[in-house]
Amino acid sequence: MNKKEIIEIFKEKFPEFKFLIDEPMKNHTSFKIGGPADILFIPRNIEQISKVLTLCKELDIDYFIMGNGSNLLVSDKGIRGVVIKISENLSDVRVEGNKIIAQSGILLSKLSRIALKHSLTGLEFASGIPGSLGGAITMNAGAYGGEMKDIVTLVRCIGGNGEIIEFTNEQMEFGYRSSIIDERELIVIEVEMELKKGNYEDIKSYMDELTQKRITKQPLNLPSAGSTFKRPKGYYAGKLIEDAGLKGLRFGDAQVSEKHSGFIVNLGNATCNDVLNLIKVIQKTVRDKFGVELKTEVKIIGEK
């Protein structure tokens, strides 16, 4: 089935849904890189996700689930099939005592501010992570000694047949930047988190301190996808890259950040190929000099 036929079917089946055709993915990623998605779908509710997912399965159409796009490197050719973007349309949140129950489209920065408002501690580490809750659960996002697995009690997902499945913290099999979500092709829709009662001023002070650390150490003024590489056991990726003499190295407009070598930044018009070439050189140089294999933390997707 070609792109034109898929688009016609989607328009006919779901005339009221919001679809963007041939939408440049650079408009939807923090890296500001990526070619067009055949169809970008932004659901308004969980029922819409289930309907589109069911149709994709029935017709054997490729689909990809994304959140805020803060950890993605999309190919220059773009993405074939359907991209389902779970964003602010699915960001409802409620607070019940020490518990926060939130839909997966909410940004972590917003979620941490809600926790602060209710004097709940435990989410401070996430206040500067640019992603959405769904993406953070999928990769067990973490920073400054905290991880999502530390606070999550229950995760609700859409399964392969459109059914709702619940997973406890233990069933999620959280690891370093991993969970069962990708492996089982699940879609996170809602998360329950348990925090602790704290002091508003103490929580705010810690969040401010972490914000200051990020501003000082990370290249927040340029598009990137955060840390490019996972932390190798016993090492720090950024230090290895800097010690290998690669700080500032660039291919086209993709550059190893001069502020933090663990980040690759987009100086303006970087392509996916620029970034991939830079990643290969970094991996080879670090492997040759230190015998350490750097694995990408950024998720590389799209047509090759």
C-alpha distances (whole Å) from 208 to each of 119, 233, 277 are 15, 29, 36
Could you report how far apart the first and last alpha carbons of the chain are, in Å? 19
DSSP secondary structure, the chain, as one string: --HHHHHHHHHHH-TTS-EEEEEEGGGGSTT----EEEEEE--SSHHHHHHHHHHHHHHT--EEEESS-TTEEE-TT-EEEEEEE--GGG--EEEETTEEEEETTSBHHHHHHHHHHTTEES-GGGTT--SBHHHHHHTT-EETTEEGGGTEEEEEEE-TTS-EEEEETGGGT-BTTB-HHHHTT-EEEEEEEE-EE--HHHHHHHHHHHHHHHHHHS-TTS-EEEESBPPPTTS-HHHHHHHTT-TT-EETTEEE-SS-TTEEEE-SS--HHHHHHHHHHHHHHHHHHH-----B-SEEES--
Cα distance between residue 157 and residue 149, in whole Å: 16
Tokens of 122: 């435990």
CB atoms under 10 Å from CB of 122, counted, come to: 20
Catalytic, 227? Answer yes
Catalytic, 80? Answer no
Cα distance between residue 194 and residue 300, in whole Å: 32
Choose the catalytic residue: 80, 177, 231, 250. 177
Choose the catalytic residue: 87, 132, 224, 227. 227
Positions annotated as catalytic residues are 177, 227, 297
